[in-house]
A and B are shown apart, each in its own frame.
Chain A
């Protein structure tokens, strides 16, 4: 029996887009997300007494208080989470834990990722997604700035490529097998009108003939950075039971990290996912074979292979065979990332990581439409941050 104190009661999610034509301040985006998620959960704003964010562009300091003031919320739990792609999963368990210990009852979890209105004097023009390649590592005293950046080990792709390279040398997975992850994700995206690649299926040949970006990873094995946003509402199980949707218990969770730069990972093909997932499954009191659908962070194809293994769905070294032997499609025998994953839906900043949670919630609530997995009661959702660094695993269970 897992934890049943807190449940996800509502969600909202915007379609990821390469170019965002409706610039918004982060606080304005949060207000819109709040209105939408409260409507979805049929919860009054006055019931909200917790806020979880990743930060606030308009208030780099004192971010939670700035948001509480902006939204008109009297808040008892105020958290800023900084775990890269694992942030959304980390936000959800922190909210659930805070509810369980009784410091708050109803928490809004925000993942906005939209451009601000153009600053007076700054250049206008269309706002395309751009992320600084150094990701803050250039500051004075940063080890990353002294050792990784001068070697060209920047952004994320080269780090994940080194994990894939090491994995191939150690276990011999083929590039075609990794390509299948991207192909099945795209298949799922064809059933998700929010997906950036809706209407654009691909084949293994397409992936194999796409250009190498960082060996052995090719263009179609890499997420498309987008703008977007999402939010979920976490509340007490009792309050969730009075809502319009099936409550989704946050019944188990785990978190683990050891390093920032991939250079210092203890083992780049035996990841922190293992300890995070082990704790989550133990807390929930379920085993991996009880999972009805999996929602795995998929910044790259290799991330999915490593997650399948390290979360315990198959032994180390057999992930390639597992991928070959199972259909990862929403109508297949092992439904994975039924929304298309970030590979198929697009990576809307933090919303990309949250998409794995919103989709798991939709599936457990039985509102995934065309891509609904029958009798979906237990979902595994996880987040991978940074360079296979931050790991958060969640077990989400229907009431």
Chain B
């Protein structure tokens, strides 16, 4: 579910299961669930997507990863984000395994490449913090 920021931007509405992830982002920490057999997984859910076990624990990740792929939205596919174009959307493979999606910050859209090293960045919007990525420092 989404709700909308004061500037019209769509924001995530956490559920009882995903709330700890979003609470972590608000503290500028990346925390995901870790299955004792299959490691970290994303997105948060009640059972490990490999074994359906429910004996996972929350753990904090480095936030470091590499760009698996990306695109630059130049058309405003979401009219609510039209004022932000051009903006980059990246799929990032974290060093610990899971693949996440986020916008790229602190980097010209034309400077992004597949395989570039990135680190987690945190974008505070109203009462929510969104996960983003920036070139690794």
Q: Which residues of A contact B (CB under 8 A)?
A: 133-134, 138-143, 145-155, 157-158, 161-163, 165-166, 169-170, 211-217, 261-264, 268
Contacts and interface: CB of A to CB of B under 8 A. Distances in A.
Contacts of A147: 12, 43, 100-101
A141 B1 contact: yes
B15 A162 contact: no
A140 B13 contact: yes
B61 interface: no
Contacts of B84: 152
Nearest to B102: A151
6 contacts: A147-B100, A148-B101, A149-B10, A151-B89, A158-B89, A166-B114
A214 B69 CA distance: 12
A166 B91 CA distance: 10
A264 B99 contact: yes
Contact of B78 (A142, A152, A163): A152
A151 B79 CA distance: 13
A146 B102 contact: no
A140 B1 CA distance: 4
A37 B75 CA distance: 39
Nearest to B113: A169
B40 to A, nearest CB: 14
A143 B73 CA distance: 21
Given A138-B1, A152-B78, A263-B101, A145 B12 contact: yes
State the 10 A-B residue pairs at the shortest beta-carbon distance, nearest first: A169-B114, A161-B71, A166-B69, A146-B12, A155-B77, A162-B69, A215-B72, A140-B1, A263-B101, A214-B71
B62 to A, nearest CB: 19
B33 interface: no
Contacts of A146: 1-2, 12-15, 18, 43
Given A153-B101, A158-B89, A261-B101, 17 more contacts: A138-B10, A143-B43, A145-B2, A146-B18, A147-B12, A149-B12, A149-B78, A150-B11, A150-B130, A151-B103, A152-B81, A155-B78, A158-B77, A165-B71, A165-B114, A169-B113, A262-B91
Contact of B2 (A149, A169, A216): A149
A153 B89 contact: yes
Given A142-B1, A263-B100, A214 B114 contact: no
Residue of A151, A157, A165, A212 contacting most chain B CB atoms (<10 Å) = A151
A138 B13 CA distance: 9
B43 to A, nearest CB: 5
Interface of B: 1-2, 9-15, 18, 43, 45, 68-75, 77-79, 81, 84, 87, 89, 91, 99-103, 109, 113-115, 130
Contacts of B102: 151
A145 to B, nearest CB: 5
Nearest to B115: A169
A179 to B, nearest CB: 18
Contacts of B114: 165-166, 169-170
B10 A150 contact: yes
Contacts of B91: 162, 262-263, 268
A153 B101 CA distance: 8
Contact of A152 (B43, B73, B109): B73
Contacts of B70: 162, 165
Contacts of B101: 147-148, 151, 153, 261, 263
A150 B71 contact: no
B61 to A, nearest CB: 15
Nearest to B49: A264
Nearest to A266: B99
Contacts of A217: 71
Residue of B68, B87, B100 contacting most chain A CB atoms (<10 Å) = B68
Contacts of B115: 169
A211 B114 CA distance: 22
A133 B71 contact: no
Contacts of A133: 77-79
A338 B78 CA distance: 33
